[in-house]
Amino acid sequence: MPNAATISKGILKPHFEIKGLSNLSGDVEVSGAKNSALVLMTASLLTEEVISLNNVPELTDIKGMGEILLAMGVELRQSPSSLELCAKNLKNSEPPYELVNGLRASFFCIGPLLGKLGQAKIPLPGGCRIGARPVIEHIKGLKALGAIVTVEHGVVSASVPGTAKKLRGSAIVLDCPSVGATETILMAAVLASGKTTIENAAQEPEVQDLANMLNKMGASISGAGGPTITINGVEKLNGCSYNVIPDRIEAGTFLIAAAITRSTLRIKSVFPDHLSSVLQKLRDCGCAIEIDEDSITIIPGDINGVDITTQPFPGFPTDLQAPFMALLATAKGTSVVTEKIYENRMQHVAELQRMGASIRVQGNSAVIEGIPQLSAAPVTGGDLRSTAAMVLAGLAAKGTSKVEGLNHLDRGYAELEVKLNSVGGQIQRLP
Ligand code: EPZ
């Protein structure tokens, strides 16, 4: 029963209570990648046969995407960490507004619906706290493939003219290496007539994972993972069974959890080459890194400040900027963190300052003067990755911290506290 003091403070929000000065040790298992599983789920719209996805993380975003696909008539069978999807009896190409509005990734449906049915109507994904998140490149790519695309009253309507309802291959050059635009164009082009090339394509592992699954379904894609992707349109795609790649951002979060608590951890079921830039920065700031085929062991030394600039893959990932800043707040010396991907991804600075961090923000850069120890405080994460950053800071701080923002956290981390507690964390999830 909440006490009077808590009630008097207003609505009780679900939060973590984290006992600081944690020493972690042992092995942590990484789940499947959220940012791959979400787009692979929408690729099931491209075939009438069954797609079986394995190593699917159990996250609220995955559940949300499932509800959207169900509402369109996709048959869905869920079991722990796997999903069976079949779009044979697709009812419509307009997912309900109330479901789509809460999940930006639902916009991934537009490419396959257009490629398969020749029409789609998807609400324009709004911006979020980290930035405007436009979909200009996605729409430009679909138009280049011959679609008619209009945006009215917050809804993107796309259709393929002519009786054949078939898109036609095209040479596309992206203004920026957008992950979502690359994936949208890939899924629209696989059933188009003729050849499509995407230049200045996003090179993230999740793009490569999508191309690999589409090829397993019978597509003809080459160059994914590099700056130029070529797609030769095919008549039909078949079902397949596919394993989602490990979540490199979750893996990086655990590596930083080890570094910030000066603990040795082994991160298992991970692809080390998906984290090269992060591993290099961890080495630069004083950690020893041992790599096996699918695991990484981190042994922190004295942590010194380093400079970080977020870049498209293979550069330092923007999704680990906030967690890494929590580490740098406890490093010796000065660090400069520059966010080049999003225009507003520094909200975690104010929360770290509440824990005693010495950080000065100048535009899209933050100058961090490391301090020997953070002090526990009640803090709130404003988005998925800043909440993760606050959890890491809480593990290292002196005292017990209260971290709110679990609604964000649960979108991208499967039972983060359970995994951290299994290696010595002392985190309580309270309603
Ligand atoms: C994906 O978002 C990820 N989400 C994001 O992860 C990740 O931060 C991002 O890629 C970059 O790696 C999913 O895959 C579901 P973008 P996406 O299009 O596709 C600008 C997380 O925490 N841009 O590559 O939306 C855009 O504004 C989330 O897991 C344009 O300017 O990313 C942004 O500044 C957060 N015009 C930058 O590019 C466009 O037309 C990167 O966007 C499209 C994008």
- The domains found in the chain, sorted by start residue, are 4-31+246-430 (3.65.10.10), 34-243 (3.65.10.10)
Taking the C-alpha atoms of residue 147 and residue 161, their distance in angstroms, rounded to an integer, is 7
Q: Which residue bears the tokens 């309270």?
A: 430
Evaluate whether 265 touches 296 at the Cβ level (below 8 Å).
no
| 291 CA distance to ligand 1 middle (Å) | 29
With a 6 Å cutoff on the Cβ, whether 36 touches ligand 1 is no
Evaluate whether 158 touches 14 at the Cβ level (below 8 Å).
no
> Ligand 1, atom 32: nearest CA belongs to which residue?
179
The pLDDT assigned to 8 comes to 47
Ligand 1 atom nearest the C-alpha of 318 is 8
Taking the C-alpha atoms of residue 43 and residue 108, their distance in angstroms, rounded to an integer, is 9
Evaluate whether 216 touches 192 at the Cβ level (below 8 Å).
no
The pLDDT assigned to 143 comes to 98
Helix ranges (DSSP H) in 243-368: 248-260, 276-284, 321-328, 348-354
3-class SS at 69?
Answer: helix
Taking the C-alpha atoms of residue 283 and residue 272, their distance in angstroms, rounded to an integer, is 14
With a 6 Å cutoff on the Cβ, whether 180 touches ligand 1 is yes
The pLDDT assigned to 41 comes to 98
Evaluate whether 423 touches 24 at the Cβ level (below 8 Å).
yes
Nearest to 92 by CA among 111, 65, 120: 120
> Ligand 1, atom 42: nearest CA belongs to which residue?
178
Taking the C-alpha atoms of residue 122 and residue 424, their distance in angstroms, rounded to an integer, is 45
Evaluate whether 196 touches 172 at the Cβ level (below 8 Å).
yes
The pLDDT assigned to 128 comes to 78
With a 6 Å cutoff on the Cβ, whether 179 touches ligand 1 is yes
Taking the C-alpha atoms of residue 123 and residue 323, their distance in angstroms, rounded to an integer, is 31
pLDDT tens string for the chain (431 positions)?
555 555 445 566 899 999 999 999 999 999 999 999 999 999 999 999 999 999 999 999 999 999 999 999 999 999 888 999 999 999 888 888 888 887 889 999 999 999 999 999 999 887 778 888 889 999 999 999 999 999 998 899 999 998 888 999 999 999 999 999 999 999 999 999 999 999 999 999 999 999 999 999 999 999 999 999 999 999 999 999 999 999 999 999 999 999 999 999 999 999 999 999 999 999 999 999 999 989 999 999 999 999 999 999 999 999 999 999 999 999 999 999 999 999 999 999 999 999 999 999 999 999 999 999 999 999 999 999 999 999 999 999 999 999 999 999 999 999 999 999 999 999 999 98
| 179 CA distance to ligand 1 middle (Å) | 6
Q: Which among 128, 176, 240, 285 is annotated as catalytic?
A: 128
Evaluate whether 264 touches 275 at the Cβ level (below 8 Å).
no
Cis previous bond, 314, omega within 30: yes
3-class SS at 336?
Answer: strand
With a 6 Å cutoff on the Cβ, whether 318 touches ligand 1 is yes
Buried/exposed code over 404-427 (b: 16+ C-beta within 10 A; e: otherwise): bbbebbbbbbbebbebbbebebbb
Taking the C-alpha atoms of residue 235 and residue 25, their distance in angstroms, rounded to an integer, is 52
- 290 strand-pairing partners: 297
Catalytic residue status for 128: yes
Ligand 1 atom nearest the C-alpha of 312 is 12
Taking the C-alpha atoms of residue 66 and residue 430, their distance in angstroms, rounded to an integer, is 27
The pLDDT assigned to 9 comes to 53
| 58 CA distance to ligand 1 middle (Å) | 22
Q: Which residues contact 229 (CB under 8 A, 6 or more apart)?
A: 182, 186, 197, 198, 201, 207, 211, 221, 222, 223
Q: Which residue bears the tokens 């380093």?
A: 306
With a 6 Å cutoff on the Cβ, whether 341 touches ligand 1 is yes
Q: How many angstroms separate the first and last alpha carbons of the chain?
A: 10
Two tokens, residue 113: 């619906």
Taking the C-alpha atoms of residue 215 and residue 238, their distance in angstroms, rounded to an integer, is 10
Q: Considering the entire predicted model, what is its pTM?
A: 0.96
With a 6 Å cutoff on the Cβ, whether 125 touches ligand 1 is no
Buried/exposed code over 309-325 (b: 16+ C-beta within 10 A; e: otherwise): ebebbeebbbbbbbbbb
The pLDDT assigned to 95 comes to 84
Nearest to 305 by CA among 320, 289, 327, 288: 327
Nearest to 170 by CA among 130, 211, 112, 229: 229
